[in-house]
A = this chain, B = another copy of it.
Amino acid sequence: MLKISELAGRIGLSTHTIRFYEKHGLIEASERSESGYRLYSAADVNRAAFVKTARNIGFSLEDIAQLLSIRLDRSSHSCQEVTDITRNKLHEVSRKMAELKAMQKVLSRLLDNCDGGLEKATHCSILEVLDNGGLAATGGVN
């Protein structure tokens, strides 16, 4: 049985975060010492590691809560439930990627059109674009 700071060191989370995850139902200490200290079993450690891994991959705490409830009773759940969560996450990631790609494109164009020199910004093309509502049909560099 590990104490909280031992668990923290083992899986790479702070004790604060572990208590926070506990409050949100993700991690449990299956026992307490006489003085009330949290004590983690091997199964608890595995569960915590599962949470950490899922978090590293990018699942939200809510996703992880769902995955955990499946993990807890695998035979009452199907692979489909797991892939649904995973696919939703993938879609979310793809959506964000598309947003970022658009931003990247606009920012690059803005930088292409401004020399970035030390002269006064009186006629700065970036400020002009921002004043004119964005990169209109008249593509800058292209």
Contacts and interface: CB of A to CB of B under 8 A. Distances in A.
Interface of A: 46, 49-50, 53-54, 56-58, 67, 70-71, 74-84, 86-87, 89-90, 93-94, 96-97, 99-101, 103-104, 106-108, 110-111, 114-122, 124, 126-127, 129-131, 133-134
Contacts of A50: 130-131
Nearest to A77: B121
A77 B111 contact: no
B67 A118 contact: no
A109 B106 CA distance: 31
B130 A75 contact: no
Contacts of A114: 79, 82-83, 86
